[in-house]
Amino acid sequence: MITKLKNLLNSFDKTNRARAAEAHEWEEKELRNVFALLVCGSFLGHPSPPMHITNELLPVMEEDLEIMFEQLDLSRNPLSELFSRLEVG
C-alpha cells in the first residue's frame, strides 16, 4: 500500500513539474512578445523608444520578433488561450 501511494505521489509530482515547465515557457514567450511590442511599438502606432535605441536592439531581437509575428495571428483569441492554459472551467 505504501509503495502504491509513493508511486501515485511520484506520478503527481512528475505531472506538476511538466506543467510548471510548460507554463514557464509560455510565460517567457508572452514576455518576449511584450518586449518586442514595446521596442517596435511604432509599427503598431504605440509610443516607442527613440529609433537609435531600437536600431541597436534589433540584431539581438531576432527571436523576439519571430515570436511577435507568430502572435499576430488574427484568428486566435488571446483570452481563450489564457483560460485554456490556466484550466479555468
Domain boundaries, the chain: 21-86
DSSP letter assigned to residue 73:
-
Give Dmax (Cα) for the chain: 66
pLDDT tens-digit readout, 10-66: 888 888 887 888 888 889 988 888 888 888 777 677 777 888 888 888 888 888 888
CB 54 within 8 A of CB 39: yes
pLDDT of residue 8: 86
Rounded CA separation 67/15 (Å):
27
DSSP letter assigned to residue 43:
G
